[in-house]
Amino acid sequence: MMRLARIALGVSVALVLAYLMLPLLIIAPISFSGARFLSFPPPSFSLRWYQEFFGNPAWMQATRVSLSVGLSTVVLATPLGVAAAYAIANARNRLMRAVHVALMLPLLVPIIILAIGVFFVYAKLGLVATLPGLVLANVMLGLPYVVISVVAGLQTFDRTQEMVARSLGMNRLRSFMAVTLPQIKASVVAGAIFAFISAMDETIIALFVSGGQYQTLTKRMFTALRDEIDPTIAAISSLLTAASFVLVLLAMRGRQRAAASSD
Amino acid sequence: MANKQLTIFAVVLSALLPSLPASAGEQITFVSQGGAYQKAQTIAILDPTANKLGITINQDSAPDAWPIMRSQVASGKPTWDVVDTPTGNCIRGGEQGLVEKLDFDKLPNAAAMPPEYRNPYSVAYEFYSSVIGYSQKKYPDPASAPQSWKDFWDVKAYPGRRALRNHPFATLEAALMADGVAPDKLYPLDVERALRKLDEIKPHITVWWTSGAQSAQLLNDGEVDMIMAWNGRISALAKEGAKVAYTYNQGILQSTSLCILKGAPNRATALKFLDQAVDPVHQANLPLQIDYGPANPKAFDTNVIPAARVKELPSAPENASRQALMSYAWWSSAEGEAAEKRWLSFMQK
Amino acid sequence: MLRLPDPSRRHRRREQALMFLLAAPALAVILALVVLPVGWLMGQSFTDGGLTLAHYRRIFGEDIYWRSFAQTFRIAGIVTVLALVLGYPVAYAASQLRRPWNVLILALVVLPFWTSVLVRAYAWLVLLQRTGVVNQALDRLGLVDEPLALIHNELGTIIATVHILLPFMIIPLTATMQNIPTDLLRAGASLGGSPLHLFLRIFLPLSVPGILAGSTLVFVLTLGFYITPELLGGGKVTMVSMLVSRNVELYNQWGAASAVGVVLLVGVLAIFAIVARAIPLDRILGQQ
């Protein structure tokens, strides 16, 4: 009876995971397809979509825009989010609980409402189709991820360690940097990665707010799909996925090396 | 160690910074609908004009320019100069103060065009048609393929999956023609009659498409067997070897026009550009790149377009006579705007 | 009880102020880019030249808005139930298994995030079309005579939406399940409880906070979905966010779109208010 239940569980988990993986598995092959429309299995092999992407200045510009927005978002959202998460984890009063909920708002408010609202505020301030405007909007979207991740990481962190460091004479900031931060590094990195991915993949606000020469990759992909539905987007997506993998691997390798060298 | 990392980071970041625009002499921002159409324009009209006038033409694209035109002018600081958009948008734009009045003294080419192709706010730029397209795999013999909207509506004689556009433009006209109205007696449109006719076919519509790319993909992938789509999309598929075809019979001849946004940053240059865009030779170049027709009739006199090609174009006389000419005046009127709003409830039912 | 001396209270007050200051920059971003714009949106929804309820009257009067809200909530409900049914076993496995299995499962669950939502939607198109991968396979296996209509309708929208939101159900569920102490279950077993009994009476109830958290998240996110129903619905699915953007296109001012947006927002807030009675809001969002 237990055996049967366990097999049933294993099968259902495998099936659900297969369902999750299925669309991802066909994207890379389609990116190498020789056919002009999206078809699977691809009838022939071709690199033209990658060539199409790299050879097109508009795509390259959009990639630069997206990457700068993504990086700037992480650079801004991470410290802001870590500080806020630290505050939330340490102060348990009603005010901080309200702050906690407020910081989750970008996840809860339907994105189309955020997009329209931000667009019109930006229109008044002249921030439409500008890089700072894009970055700020993505910082707003990325903050919840950093906060959620770091708050969770601080749960398992023993605060007395920090108090010990402070009692030994370190000021607050130094004790945070020396004692707390190294131990919650994994959560900070996880939050930062999610903030980065969210900025890279963000489509709806970009549709309203980016424009002119500061168009993001996602906006270009969206408008390109209205012009031609072809495997270029599969190529772009495969490249981004591969790049993210490399990033994460580098980050993990860096952590391992840091852990090894600190022994 | 930290310094080295910082330098690398700075170098990488600066390489990633988007390139600043080349500070050129005169420039304009020109907006069309993107895709193969805009690429064709670039070769046929935009590059020659840029060279001739010595200006830089920055391009942007929007499948539906109207909401962006509105918000740009509302912001007080439009970034677009010239917009190539369905003629109705230019007409509405003029009525609502979104578009500059054109100074035809400065536009010799435009002034020389027939009066029905221009109005105080815009000049016709290009013609295209909404036509009946079908799969030759399903209907290998043209005689057995749908040739009229009545055929399209006849699910018994012409079984197969169908797609229409999720928009009332041309769709209402097609429904009326399916109900027996003659192509030249369509306007003013009897919207209720058209929607009732559409109710008949609605259960048999597999997809209501929203983009030209989607219409092409549906027909190409065999998701539908017949479709209302733009002629350029279908002929592009056929050229690549897809087994699809279309007919100009009962097609709806539509046009896009050029207009200049009110408060455009480069108004003077935009005017110069506009006149070149409707220059007969430039106009004649367009059909060499894509299956859409020039708006300037003088283009047909330039001998740039081969006779065989002329036959394929939507605005060629023998094709135009079989089609219904869309009335943008009606679509920009109050009834037209009401019909657009009515469309939402029709789709939701 | 100890009476705390004054300096300590002052110190505590200073501490709280410092904490608030730390969170202030992030809060400022939220105030500027969420509260301000949404507030403006609300203001716009009551404007049409002057102060008016015209937009709301239209929303509550015209059929299409009711229908759209009904369809949106219905789809959100179906998606949530499906995500729960599909996600629960995976979360269970991820929380109970040892390394490397639990890491592997979670890695696979998070993997789709690396791929753009747009591209995932088009991948589903390729899979579910008439001539798509699934129908081709069904045809070759001889299971169907006619290709199934798996896309360009509500079904396709639901399949793709569940796919995109499943991780948002699995992760909170896993987090909650990981905190269910195994000795409780062991104690129950030693008292003679059958595995099924243990699961139903001990494990399942303890996993309810996770169920609530995941379900709320998935439900609310589905309500705001725009791209997937637009691309895969074939024109037959009109979710509320699509209505918002259509209103932007059709009506002259932002008022119409804003009103629809406000009604949606109120709906979302109402859901959170209801759920928050069962579990406090910050527990849904990660704090244990």
Cα separation of B187 and B91, whole Å? 17
More confident residue, C275 or A70: A70
Tell me, yes or no, if A76 comes closer than 8 A to chain B by beta carbon: no
Q: How many CB atoms lie within 10 A of CB A75?
A: 15
DSSP string, C209-260: HHHHHHHHHHHHHHHT--HHHHHHSTTS---HHHHHHHHHHHSSSTHHHHHH
CB contact under 8 A, A91 and C19: yes
More confident residue, B287 or A260: B287
pLDDT tens-place string over residues B56-102? 998 888 877 888 888 788 777 888 999 999 998 999 899 889 999 99
What dihedral angle (degrees, nearest 10) is formed by the CA atoms of B177, B181, B187, B190? -90
DSSP state of B83: E
Which of B289, A48, A227, A136 lies closest to C29, judged by CA?
A136
Question: Model confidence at C80, in pLDDT bands (50, 70, 90)?
Answer: very high
The CATH architecture to which A57-261 belongs is Orthogonal Bundle (1.10)
The CATH code belonging to domain C55-284 is 1.10.3720.10
Q: Which residues of A touch C130 (CB under 8 A)?
A: none
pLDDT tens-place string over residues A179-224? 888 888 888 988 998 899 899 989 989 988 887 778 899 988 988 8
Please enumerate residues of B whose Cβ is less than 8 A from a Cβ of A.
13, 16-19, 21, 29, 33-36, 38, 58, 60-63, 71, 74-75, 77, 79, 211-214, 216-217, 220-221, 240
pLDDT beyond 60 at B22: no
Q: How far is C131 from chain B (nearest CA, A)?
A: 7
Question: Which member of B64, B223, B344 has the closest CB to residue C130?
Answer: B223
Tell me, yes or no, if B209 comes closer than 8 A to chain C by beta carbon: yes
Do A28 and A245 meet the contact criterion of CB atoms below 8 Å apart?
no
Cα separation of C21 and C13, whole Å? 12
Tell me, yes or no, if B335 comes closer than 8 A to chain C by beta carbon: no
Chain B residue at shortest CA distance from C237? B348
Distance of CA C113 to the CA centre of its chain: 15
Q: Which residues of C touch A80 (CB under 8 A)?
A: 25-26, 29
pLDDT beyond 60 at B25: yes
Tell me, yes or no, if B346 comes closer than 8 A to chain C by beta carbon: no
**Alpha helices in chain C, H assignment, sequence order:** 6-30, 36-45, 54-61, 63-96, 101-110, 117-128, 133-140, 154-178, 182-190, 195-198, 204-206, 208-223, 227-232, 240-250, 255-278, 281-284
pLDDT tens-place string over residues C117-134? 899 999 999 999 998 999
pLDDT tens-place string over residues A137-180? 999 999 999 998 898 888 878 788 888 888 888 888 888 888 88
CB contact under 8 A, A67 and B17: no
Ranges A230-244, C3-17, C146-160: which has the least confidence:
C3-17
Q: B27-32 and B82-86: which strand pairing?
A: parallel
- Interface residue of C58, C59, C64, C238 to substitute, partner B, most B CBs within 10 Å: C64
Question: Which member of B64, B166, B340 has the closest CB to residue C235?
Answer: B166
pLDDT beyond 60 at B310: yes
Question: Which other chains touch chain A, taking contact as 3+ CB pairs less than 8 Å apart?
Answer: B, C
Chain C residue at shortest CA distance from B162? C234
pLDDT beyond 70 at B166: yes
- Residues with Cβ < 8 Å from B51, sequence gap 6 or more? none
Residue C32 pLDDT: 94
DSSP state of B310: H
Mean pLDDT of A75-82: 96
pLDDT tens-place string over residues B122-162? 999 999 999 999 999 999 988 889 999 999 999 999 999 99
Q: Which residues of B touch C235 (CB under 8 A)?
A: 166, 205, 207-210, 347
Question: Which member of A107, A203, A244 has the closest CB to residue C227?
Answer: A203
Chain A residue at shortest CA distance from C284? A101
Q: Is the peptide bond preceding residue B306 cis, with omega within 30 degrees of 0? A: no
Chain A residue at shortest CA distance from B219? A37
List the 218-257 stretch of B: residues with Cβ below 8 A of C.
Answer: 221-223
Tell me, yes or no, if C114 comes closer than 8 A to chain A by beta carbon: yes
CB contact under 8 A, B221 and A37: yes
Q: Which residues of B touch A73 (CB under 8 A)?
A: none
Predicted ipTM?
A: 0.86
Residue C252 pLDDT: 61
Question: Which member of B208, B223, B340 has the closest CB to residue C235?
Answer: B208
Residue B261 bridge partners (DSSP): B99
Mean pLDDT of B234-238: 92
